[in-house]
Amino acid sequence: MKFKVALAALLMAQPALAAEGERVQITGEIIDTWCYFSGVMGGPDAVVGSAHHTCALWCSAGGIPVGLLGEDGEVYMVLKIEGDDQSASGDTQMTLASHEIVADGMLYKRDGLNYLVVEKVVEDRGITNLNHEDYGVVPGFAIPKPKK
Amino acid sequence: MMKRLIAVCALIATPLFAQDFSEGSNAKTWNLYAEVPATFEAEVVDILCTVAGDCANACADGRQLGLLRSADNQLVFPNKNRQSSFNGAAYDLHPYCGKTVDVDGLMIEDEDIPGAKNIYLIQFIKEAGAADWEKANKWTKVWAEKHPEAKGKGPWFRRAPRVNAAIEADGYFGQGLSHEDAYALTQ
């Protein structure tokens, strides 16, 4: 009987319901997560910042999830920003593509991923990672040849 | 008693994460470093609702949707559909929100990149038990229906009004460079 009770308690403790959130303030860059996680266009250093800004716009508009790449190296999947829950192709997240921001909100963790509900963008520092000076443009076709 | 309890704890804590979902997969490779074919049954869920309990607008257009895997209750985040032009998975999942489905695609789990776990590229979807698979390639069709004003030649991302407005305002690098100057930096 005790064993069954203990087992039931353990199973109930599994994350079937919404997780408990934690109040956090995180500084980082708004990135497109697919390019960052998959490596489809190169290493992590090349798929962030100004070099990847145009692609970040495309991915955000295309509904690829955006994340906040924190100074701690962790990626926080952004589900909502200042009341805007349009996390698949929404306007708010797109205006912040590649920007370094200070975000205040609630952090939730589940199954290896960090999820962030941004209640306030405390500071928007714009694009501060000027890595186009090192990488040019990523992907290379992002800037078409100008028409004469 | 204690030994049994420890054994149960060990079962819950570890082996489920190591399950192999590649058997029976017909997913095509993208030649990604950390890709693994994965086909499984899952419930399509609103992630904001499932994770944070923000459910008033659950399954609405524009919210990210996830896959709550039946075998182990893991929440899988489909970042990408099968199209190759910067398309997410929400449009392909949206008709199935709240339903149980079978999916096939590529799982990305890269231990060298923090957070690269339970990230998924969905290639096929069908209601659980249905005979025929659908390709997860709806994004461009749905986008075209939403943006008739952007009809034209070339890929959608060259015609997207919001993208073009952002580039017009701040340039391709977001630094205010003209098109010509930005292009020159890449040569």
CATH code of the domain covering residue B75 = 2.40.50
**Test mutation, B51, B67, B187, chain A, max A CBs within 10 A:** B51
What is the reported pTM? 0.90
Do residue B160 and residue B127 come from a single domain?
no
The per-residue b/e assignment along B96-121, b for 16 or more CB within 10 angstroms, e otherwise, is bbeeebbbbbbbbbbeebbbbbbbbb
Do residue B101 and residue B166 come from a single domain?
no
Do residue B102 and residue B151 come from a single domain?
no
Mean of the pLDDT values across residues A37-56?
Answer: 97
Do residue B156 and residue B94 come from a single domain?
no
Which residues of A fall within a CB distance of 8 Å from B169? Answer: none
pLDDT tens digits, residue range A59-88? 999 999 999 999 999 999 999 999 999 999
Distance from the A27 Cα atom to the nearest Cα atom in chain B, whole angstroms: 16
Do residue B120 and residue B81 come from a single domain?
yes
Cβ neighbors of A84 (< 8 A, separation 6 or more) are A90, A91, A92, A93
Q: Which of A67, A94, A3, A14 is nearest to B73 (CA)?
A: A14
To the nearest 10°, the Cα dihedral for A33, A37, A42, A44? 80
Do residue B49 and residue B113 come from a single domain?
yes
Report the percentage of chain A scoring pLDDT > 70.
Answer: 89
Task: Give the pairing of strands A22-32 and A100-110.
Answer: antiparallel
CA distance B102 to B68: 11
pLDDT tens digits, residue range B54-105? 999 999 999 999 999 999 999 999 999 999 999 999 999 999 999 999 999 9
Q: Identify the band that residue A19 occupies on the pLDDT scale cut at 50, 70 and 90.
A: confident
Do residue B108 and residue B78 come from a single domain?
yes
- Tally of domains in chain B: 2
ipTM metric: 0.90
Ramachandran assignment for A115, one of left (phi > 0), alpha (psi -120 to 50 degrees), beta (any other): beta
Q: Which residue of A has its CA nearest to B108?
A: A38
Is residue B29 domain-resident? yes
Is residue B9 domain-resident? no
Q: Read off the tokens for A87.
A: 């996390």
Is residue B71 domain-resident? yes
Do residue B24 and residue B54 come from a single domain?
yes
Do residue B42 and residue B83 come from a single domain?
yes
Do residue B83 and residue B162 come from a single domain?
no
Do residue B68 and residue B156 come from a single domain?
no
Inter-chain contacts counted by CB atoms under 8 A, chains A and B: 208
Containing structural domain, residue B48: 19-138
Which residues of A fall within a CB distance of 8 Å from B1? Answer: 2-3
**Test mutation, A11, A81, A89, chain B, max B CBs within 10 A:** A89
Report the percentage of chain B scoring pLDDT > 70.
Answer: 90
Is residue B4 domain-resident? no
